[in-house]
Amino acid sequence: MIGVSLLIWTIVVYIAMRKLYARFYFPLLVPVATSTVVIIMTLSLFHLSYDQYMIGGKWLVHLLGPAVVALALPLYQHRHTLKQFLWPLLCSTFFGTIIGMGSGLLFARLFHLPEKIVRSIIPKSVTSPVAMDIAKLIDGIPTLAAVYVMIAGIFGAMFGPILFQRLHITTALGIGSGLGAASHGIGTAKALEIGRKEAAISSVAMTLSAIFASLLCPLLLLL
Amino acid sequence: MGITVIQIGGLYMLYMIGSFIQQLLHIPIPGSMIGMLLLFLLLMTGIVKEKWISRGANMLLSHLTLLFIPATVGVMDYVELFSGRGIWSIVIVIVSTMMVMLFAGFIGQWAQTREQKRVREVKGA
């Protein structure tokens, strides 16, 4: 009973937070962040544990696998963009992924963070469901990985456009690759505010990054 | 609605196949990702038609956020990790994200400017 009501509550909160975001469009208000905060507040208010919440919540998590499979659709739909900019896109996402994972790993080690945190930071540049799967495979904490992904997405979407402006990155290919490779889905939503072409490139970059991260992450940890 | 559910079922099957391949071959790549690459190949070769999966796929993708809210809520069990040293992890994530953004942005910018220059030269000649 608790499971079902919390599941329904999650959906209600999500719909409300989506509306809020559509109204103000401020990156800090992305639905995943606001919904998470509201739900955690609800749980602590009623003294409910995360395990109790997951009785219903696990049904949503079950859909993450097929959702990752579904990412093949936008990649297929944007296949002409992919073909047109194949090499630049492969280069920017391949090296972007290496820089993202490498710098995360390096900084985390430099600051002597606990191993579980280090392994959860590494996949932060790719879309949540993939990052969680990667974290699981390399002994990180999937939940924590999802939180870092969220932080990467929010701050990328917030500061990315300012950064591009300052550094004269003005082309669709530059903006799209940057947002997609660094800030995945949240970045792609931001790219859509700039233009359709930017968004198409961003969504291709996001998917390519996810593929590269899946392939490279296990190798990186062998080093 | 019925069609959407059936299509999601189809995507779920691809996910299961991907996970099965992963376990069979012992490769450290998420099964979901293998399923995605499989679907991409099936679409490119025309074995699977776009309309067979598009409704289910769009349904899942447009509400992707909802699907990982339960995962992010899990952070409530790890709050102590963010006290003390752990707080640095947030700074690290932000700095590293900016590095990726700049690098990928520069490569994209460079490639497109070069392409435009080439097109202009060809036209000029």
Task: Give the pLDDT confidence of A116-139 residue by residue, as tens digits.
Answer: 999 999 999 998 888 998 999 899
- The domain spans of chain B are 1-67, 76-125
Per-residue pLDDT of chain B (125 residues; tens, 9 = 90+): 799 999 999 999 999 999 999 999 987 788 888 999 999 999 999 999 999 999 999 999 888 889 888 888 988 888 888 878 888 999 999 999 999 999 999 999 998 888 778 777 776 65
Which of A68, A73, A133 lies nearest to residue B53, judging by beta carbons? Answer: A73
Cβ distance of B56 and A70 shorter than 8 Å: yes
- Return the residue of B nearest to A51 by Cα: B74
Place of tokens 């435009």: B116
- Return the residue of B nearest to A12 by Cα: B66
Cβ distance of B28 and A57 shorter than 8 Å: no
* Long-range contacts of A39-43, Cβ-Cβ distance < 8 Å, separation of 24 or more: A39/A9, A39/A10, A39/A13, A39/B69, A39/B73, A40/B73, A40/B75, A40/B76, A42/A9, A42/A13, A43/B73, A43/B76
Compute chain B's Rg from CA coordinates.
Answer: 22
Q: Name B122's Cβ contacts closer than 8 Å, sequence gap at least 6.
A: none
Please name the residues between 16 and 45 in chain B that touch chain A, using a CB distance below 8 Å: 18-19, 28-33, 35-40, 43-44
Task: Report the Cα B28 to chain-centroid distance in Å.
Answer: 17
Greater pLDDT, B72 or A69: A69
Task: Using an 8 Å CB-CB cutoff, list chain A residues near B39.
Answer: 69-70, 72-73
pLDDT in the model for residue A149: 92
Task: Using an 8 Å CB-CB cutoff, list chain B residues near A71.
Answer: 36, 61
Mean pLDDT, chain A, rounded, equals 91
Alpha-carbon gap: A163 to the closest alpha carbon of chain B (Å): 8
pLDDT in the model for residue A51: 92
Alpha-carbon gap: B120 to the closest alpha carbon of chain A (Å): 16
- Return the residue of B nearest to A205 by Cα: B104
- Return the residue of A nearest to B51 by Cα: A73
pLDDT for A65 beyond 80: yes
DSSP A71: T
